Structure 1
């Protein structure tokens, strides 16, 4: 899960000194980058100093056989990581220095991509992109989780220069004409000021190949990697703003994804008019400095204390809507033990509590170990045991070939935080299972609801295929989250309002159908808040109104708000959509509350053919402003294909609500 902390390791490489005699070849801020990164890792993330390998060359340094960032030392350090780190550990690799691009030595591998090799300019000899990529792939195959940061120019331009200086720090421009023949920068920015070449086309980089790790590069292939000066110190622009962004996330109670980090980095570079934009490659849903995906951290696993009631109970900011249930156990940690929503590996909780009462947006828990005496508002609570789970009947029609897969499937249910309980004993009668799974002898899995009706349009999960167990497990968990929203009913009295939902007068032709809704607050004295969620036929949940994951929209008394909705066929259903008899259902839920409330934490992405998550859970919002019962109005748009044209019609499951 996202809150788990594996052992962390780091390899930090910084090279200022490239020549003892020609100072123009040298850089200014690379060693400072390493020092700042080391301080952040040790002081904020509690990475032990012995777990950090440092290879630096400052201006004036001589070559140290063991600690100098030579090609030999860098490769040796990287290859030795599996001897120290164990599978499941996290490794941070940082390089600050020159980069370059030269004619490829791997034409057989790159014949359909690029004629260039991108290199890191380590001392004595470069490290090429193919070799580096192979090593990183090897480390990932050994079970290590990697984040690689390259604060250099990695393609198209090999400069790293300060915006306030006319000194060029491009390794190629420092070489003699004879040496420059081996480097290929004819298509790179050629001005001394490092102007971005807007007509350049980003070529394929071998580092852009499919990967099992995340890579953050200082700039696009047609841009310069710059240095900036703050006070008396010089840093790479990427390193400086990366550390600054990570510190800004420091107090987060929610693990930070690479997508969130990148979305924070980009505006910093734009606002400062830096002629570079950082590049992220890899799974954007993976958690920074963690070993999980964001969708593997479902709501309720990480929460915080909103009130210390007395020496025996605390109030947690999450409740039933975040999958917290009576009997769930949490461990409470001091703020210094939590950073980026992650708990330090050696941190010890101050108390363990068990949930005794659950409301929609909060829960009460009593202490059963430790003390609540010092616990304060805002302290993080991490779930250690989930009491209430979905019951899943698993029916297997035999077949020894699936023995290992069935064992792995059973093992996945033994996780104390797993949201499902898998029941394999067919003699055990479960009167109301949440789901039923039927597995054929060939390993094909049919997921059925509690009434033994098959879910329509589900992607296939096959245990005999690679990641078959993970696919089925994720599918069940995803459906569980979807069903929770689908079954949400009224939790408060009906306010005085008018709601209309109907076809759009002049719909855009590019959509299957288009609809519009209006909501009028008829309350004489109070405001209402509204939000609209769409439950898609691909089992996704999206907040349509208001946008940007905002709190429910405030509607003044006697005020009317409206919006349009376009119906499209999701990619999962595209193959079936041209067949006669095809039908899909979009569900729209209008939530009305009397206080500001956020519903975006229900969002989950549509399922896709590969079943495994590609976008991940959109993430739980910040803590809700207050507790609020809601009233729900539901509308359904049914789209069908008769073999010639598509038809759409509207129905209200609860006529009284509409």
Structure 2
């Protein structure tokens, strides 16, 4: 008899209702519901579930600990063994899903950049509270990604140090005695040799849960660092669920939904939070293009190019029209066109056709849309998403094609599909400005800038290799890169442009006596910052205002990539005179000349860090581009949560230029 094939999907589900001091009511149901869904949708998945249910039997009121058998308790030992077991048994490219529904807490830690470290509140083998440190979980996940596993981690607990103590809030105040008893590893068998690995990598700023190999890892947390993750009771039922777990499960309706990327799942979950007016905002870290729990990404809408589309939420404002939940801060401008399509899950027969809409007025974080060939009546009864169809701003970077480029008329048609302004060189176009030119020299395509200099780090392309569509992909990529590079707000209201302060430091071989900072030297952020290959640097961003700010950092790499350097949607910096969350963020990173450039003999490179600062939680995913290391590889969104007070919508952006040299 043939043996069944080994599993390719592995899940570890942890739900804790039982706590002596502050029990939860929906955490166990969270993971049992998700377990049932996986059993039905992926029968071959290997699932390990650990739960702690409080005893509610009146005949045994003093029953100690959870009612489950001890081998199924969510102890640090059981969870640790499960993580190690999956790492050992799973094969390269297997998918791993890890879900924690429990209390979270934070403990002061002077060595942490933000002054605190996170712990998940689990149990020991006596049913007492103990801390499963974030650092320990991160090390286990790091081992999984190094083995080539694709990991999705969901934390339905508070990701903060809030002092709220509502019984439906998934946060517990840190107990020093529990922290001391937990140590770094809670039980004796966990005392193995662990190296405190650096979390700094090629212009990437990460800590604790921010795993080095973000290409194979995604983390979805229930709330921002300053918010509480709450439970909610189901209408007409005594059943409770964590808000993230419930909306995530509602989003995952079928096996096909599991073949979406994590960002598509995230955007639809965020819409559920906003639609239900929930006062928390989930955050996504890591690789937003990772398939959710493995499998091929089959749910991708066709676009004119290989550019990965961003999904924007569209709000129907009664009879007043449509409001796109993105604006100038995301590079949207008047005249941009979007394709709207219904995002509510239903049968194809009932799904309305897509609708074209155009931006009539873009503001800081929203854009007013006017429909093309449709009315508001066409939109009723559905929720709608939008993807960019054409962007007016891209036309600011005209492309000149040499008359020697074959089939240049076909090039013009393809480039204009992508909102690009292009023309063929002739005596009639000699006076026209251009940003890039494409020439054919010795049967090789050559790309030059407006000064006639060759554009660096472009693959060598023979005229017989790429087709027109692939060449247009490459040109669109270059234009989108420069669109992000030039993005700025010339209309920042009042003093918002001075609402934050950035300090930058580079490591030195010895202590800097001038600054008094051991091993670091402060540098002028208005000048190009010189740094050695593989040397560490650090930026510190301070809030200089009386209201909260939200920060996103993107690295514009020498290989034409636009990469989220924080590996998270945004980071909050609290009001200067406020209470609680830090008034500054400290982000370490490492600069290096990319391997591909080193192999070509290059000894230096230039990076740009774009620091976006906004008055509201915001995201910039649509600005991202993959690196252009090798040409073959080339070739639903959140709304803001309700604020306790009105803050004027505004945003600004700052650029830091780095030159890295061997």
| Larger CA Rg, structure 1 vs 2 | 1
